[in-house]
Amino acid sequence: MNVHAEVEKIWKDNSESIEKRIGRWVDDLLSKKRKDAIIKARKQFHQWDPLKIYTSVSQASKKGLPEFSVRYCGQEIAKLKQRNDNNHYLVFSDDHMRTNVCFQFPPEYMVLNGDKKGIHWSSPEATEIRKFFTEHPQWKAPSNSASEHFIESIIIGQMKSRTSSKFGGALKGIQPVLLHGVLPFQVPVPFSACSGKPILSPRGSIDILARRRGSDGQVRLSVWELKKPGKIDHSVFQSYIYSVVLLKMLRSSSKNAWYELFGFSRELPKSLEIESVVLLSEKMRGQYEKQLEKLLDSNPLTIVNGTDNSMDKIKLACAFYDDETLKLKSFQEYSQR
């Protein structure tokens, strides 16, 4: 199945609308006013583990005061909103309450949502909420029933570490792409690939986008597609499709803005190499190999990019974690065949 050719056709047939959409996204995300507001707001509150603070394109580009996503084990449990008094408040929606029931969130905390302003992040009530999640057992003892959101949270947390011993030393040169250098976010793409085929979509996103310095000393963008224990779905094709789409975005009319957003200060090179990574549990190794062969049967890893006939490349890799502990066991790169 040649998914590369499908991406090319869909992009060509819808180039004008795609260019407008991705241009609007990156303009919103790089807006100096929004950037300054997000960075300033983020400096005004502390993040207490195991709760994590994220943002999204819609939150980051929203007019008005900044708001953030508060997550436990990768699941959003509340919004953290800045109010006109420049303080930050926890706000729970009905959807949050339904999620929190899964964590046995005490009913007495739920009534606190009666104040529409929310719960002050530094209040005794917020301290009690943080204490509840700090003492919750799930984040301390991951299991093979962990969700993909939880695994994503674990991996981003490890990637952010500045120590060379992270991931057992196998991936010491990797860092997640953070919005304005301060917040994890899922990079938006104008395609969905969950079915293993490229589909034009306004809500596509990459699980994790990172920058990794390889053994050759070069820093590459690294596209990660994650699956929970015992699952593989169409992950090899998904990661490849998102890598192809990311290359298209970096060759679009808004290319330099995207390159800046991803943390590069240098000029966009004529030739790029993007790493396409699948993160799976160890038991999926055999199925990964089979799916990899199917991908390589019909899809190129070297692509003409239209810049003076220069070539872009996709470098395939896979990371495997232990099914029980969720700790990374190996990382393997694959050369073009």
- 158-199 pLDDT, tens per residue? 999 888 888 877 788 899 999 999 999 889 999 999 999 999
pLDDT at 337: 47
Q: Same structural domain for residues 16 and 49?
A: no
Q: Same structural domain for residues 147 and 131?
A: no
Number of domains in the chain: 2
Q: Same structural domain for residues 22 and 90?
A: no
Last residue of a domain, one of 103, 135, 167: 135
Q: Same structural domain for residues 195 and 299?
A: yes
pLDDT at 165: 81
Last residue of a domain, one of 100, 135, 170: 135
CA distances from 323 to 58, 77, 88, 139, 230 (A): 34, 26, 38, 16, 8
Give the residue with greater pLDDT, 255 vs 97.
Answer: 255
Q: Same structural domain for residues 93 and 214?
A: no
In the chain, % of residues over pLDDT 70? 96
Q: Same structural domain for residues 175 and 283?
A: yes
Name the amino acid, one letter, at 157. Answer: G
pTM exceeding the 0.85 threshold for the entire prediction: yes
Q: Same structural domain for residues 326 and 202?
A: yes
**Residues ≥6 apart with Cβ < 8 Å to 134:** 48, 49, 50
Would you place residue 335 in the very low, low, confident or very high pLDDT band (cuts 50, 70, 90)? low
Do residues 309 and 268 lie in contact, with contact meaning Cβ atoms separated by under 8 Å?
no
Q: Same structural domain for residues 170 and 317?
A: yes
Question: 220-238: b or e for each residue (b if 16 or more CB lie within 10 Å)?
Answer: bbbbbbbbbbeebbbbbbb
Residue appearing with tokens 């997550």: 71
Residue 112 has pLDDT above 60, yes or no: no
Q: Same structural domain for residues 22 and 100?
A: no
pLDDT at 311: 94
- 62-106 pLDDT, tens per residue? 778 888 999 999 999 999 999 889 899 998 888 888 888 888 887
Mean pLDDT of all residues belonging to the chain = 90
Residue 113 has pLDDT above 70, yes or no: no
Q: Same structural domain for residues 94 and 116?
A: yes
DSSP 251: T
Question: Residue 188 sits in which domain range?
Answer: 3-31+143-334
List the one residue out of 332, 170, 198, 189 whose CA is nearest residue 252.
189
Least confident of 13-22, 148-157, 243-252: 148-157
Give the residue with greater pLDDT, 87 vs 214.
Answer: 87
- 301-325 pLDDT, tens per residue? 999 987 677 899 999 999 999 888 8
Q: How many CB atoms lie within 10 A of CB 262?
A: 17
Q: Which residues on adjacent β-strands are paired with residue 75?
A: 72
Residue 247 has pLDDT above 70, yes or no: yes
Last residue of a domain, one of 135, 163, 182: 135
Token couple for 75: 């699941």
pLDDT at 309: 78
Mean pLDDT in residue range 125-132: 91
Residue 31 exposure: Cα atoms within 13 Å on the Cβ side: 15
Q: Same structural domain for residues 156 and 114?
A: no
pLDDT at 138: 87
Q: Same structural domain for residues 91 and 231?
A: no
Kindly report the CATH number assigned to the domain that includes residue 236.
3.40.91
Sign of CA dihedral 41, 47, 51, 54: positive
Nearest-angstrom CA–CA distance, 58 and 64? 12
